[in-house]
Amino acid sequence: MRKYLTLTMALGALMALTAAGIASGAATPNKPTTVRAGNLELTFNGGFSPTALPKKTLAPISLTAEGKIKTIDGTHPPALKEALIETDKNGTVQVKGYPTCKSGQLQSQDTSHAMAICKSALIGSGTTNVEIAFPEQSPIPVSSKLLVFNGGESGGVITFLIHAYITVPTPAAIVTTVKIKKIHNGRYGLLSTASIPKIAGGSGSVTSFSLKIDKKYTYKGKKVSVLSAKCPDGKIQAHATAVFSDGTKASAEILRTCTGKG
pLDDT tens for the chain, 262 residues long, are 333 333 333 344 444 333 222 233 344 556 677 778 889 887 777 778 899 999 999 999 988 878 788 899 999 998 878 888 888 888 878 899 999 999 999 999 999 999 999 999 999 999 988 899 998 889 999 999 999 999 999 999 999 999 999 888 889 999 988 888 888 999 898 888 888 888 888 898 988 888 888 899 999 999 999 989 999 999 988 787 778 888 887 777 778 889 999 8
Q: Are 35 and 257 in contact (CB under 8 A)?
A: no
SS (H, E, C) 8-64: HHHHHHHHHHCCCCCCCCCCCCCCCEEEEECCEEEEEEEEEECCEEECCCCEECEEE
DSSP states along 200-254: GGGTEEEEEEEEEE--EEEETTEEEESEEE--SSSEEEEEEEEEETTS-EEEEEE
Q: What is the pTM of this model?
A: 0.85
Which residues are CB-contacts of 32 (< 8 A; sequence separation ≥ 6)? 43, 44, 45
Q: Give the N- to C-terminal CA distance of the chain in Å, as an integer.
A: 25
Burial of 33 (0-12, 13-18, 19+ CB in 10 A): buried
* CA separation for the pair 155, 61 (Å, rounded): 26
